[in-house]
A and B are shown apart, each in its own frame.
Chain A
Amino acid sequence: MHELTIVLNIFEIAGNQLKEHQGNKIDAIELEIGLLAGIEMEAFHFAWNAALPGSVLEDCSLKINPVEAEARCRHCHLEYDVSSLYDACPGCGSFRSELIRGKDLRIQSLVIS
């Protein structure tokens, strides 16, 4: 259940930003979560809703932008979309690849009022 840790990290960063900008509340937050970031979205939403009451994000709208995952084949250098950490290259069939996108776990923006 590391999703709870992730949620608590978001709340902490948001709280610090609220203070830094001397705002009263956070109206909206936008996150970027990669397809292969290791986040189970159901667990994430469960943790989010559990941690929300009384927090700085209580009345805020949450937007999550999913990031597709992409790998580069070490053999033929083809870049291709992947849905797991072990998808074979569609060009040459090799499993030797680097993940180049899809592990993102980022707060993109906040709206503070």
Chain B
Amino acid sequence: MCSTCGCGHSDIITITRIGDEDNHEHMILNSNRNYSHQHHHEGVHDHAHGHSHEKTMVSDHHHAVQPHQTIVDLEMDILHKNDLLASRNRGYFEALQVLALNLVSSPGSGKTSLLERTLTDLGAEFNSFVIEGDQQSSNDANRIAETQVPVVQINTGKACHLDAQMVQKAYKQLSIVNQSLLFIENVGNLVCPAMFDLGETARVVIISVTEGDDKPVKYPDMFHSSDICIINKIDLLPYVQFEVEKLKEYALRVNPDLSFFETSATTGQGMDNWYEWLRTQQQNL
């Protein structure tokens, strides 16, 4: 149930701009339709039709009455709708020269803390925007709002990942400006978000040293689809059995193109390299 307006739908997704909670939007899981009440809503449906050929099994051309079947050789990607919307998102980000990052990890890797520190430290240098994805609650978005950065919370309800359509609806509430940074914090889940392109410029997987250093081979899809791997909470290395080199070795087996950063959002250690990367990527857009 939506905690703001009280509407109840089991598969509902809620998109809320923090500071403007009355004007939130609902959509139904995996649907073209927007489920909305008195709030604004566009009725634009995005259908993409695959290229298909058909042949009819009926040899009788004398019309109607006989039962017949049509074979449609569709050859269509099941995720084509998401991929199409992701391409549109990507085009929008490119046109605005926005560096859009999809941050993925297990719950508890320190994504939000890393983001808070980044937004605070780079506050004077960049305009930043945040989309927060969680199944429930606005806790993370409220933390981000403390940094004075515009933030939209997506509550996915039962869905275990963000998709391109949710992100599109979220950034429409953000009024993103040219040459800014957009951080999309995905739902904490190292499996499902791997399949869904959001149109991001780069995907950043975050792992903390309190997790196992063999995570890349346990959850290879996420490491395979990411561009950057941030190893967070390195201030805790003396207290845990985690070998950074072993993690890197495993991760590179899955994805030889991964680049790494070692950070502590708590102490600030290693954050400068991450910031330098952000600057370079933003300049190269």
Min CB gap B257→A, angstroms = 9
A106 at the binding interface (Cβ < 8 Å)? yes
Q: Is the CB of B78 within 8 A of A17?
A: no
Min CB gap A55→B, angstroms = 13
In A1-46, the 8 Å CB interface with B consists of 1-2, 5-6, 8-10, 12-13, 16-17, 20-21, 23, 27, 31, 36, 38
Segment at the A interface, from B201-209, B217-225, B229-237, B276-284: B217-225
Decide: A85 near B220, CB < 8 A? Known: A1-B192, A20-B49.
yes
Q: Is the CB of A8 within 8 A of B79?
A: no
Main SS of the interface on chain A? mixed
Q: Would you give the 0/1 interface string for B211-251, flagging 1 where the beta carbon is closer than 8 Å to chain A?
A: 00000110011011000000000000000000000000010
A61 at the binding interface (Cβ < 8 Å)? no
Decide: A8 near B191, CB < 8 A? Known: A96-B256, A107-B78.
no
With a CB–CB cut-off of 8 A, which chain A residues contact B71? 109-112
A74 at the binding interface (Cβ < 8 Å)? yes
Q: Is the CB of B30 within 8 A of A5?
A: yes
Binding site for A on B (CB under 8 A): 29-32, 47, 49-50, 52, 54, 67-82, 159-161, 163, 191-192, 194-196, 216-217, 220-221, 223-224, 250, 252-256
Q: Is the CB of A17 within 8 A of B194?
A: no
Q: Is the CB of A2 within 8 A of B78?
A: no
A65 at the binding interface (Cβ < 8 Å)? no
With a CB–CB cut-off of 8 A, which chain B residues contact A110? 71-72, 74
Q: Is the CB of A23 within 8 A of B70?
A: yes
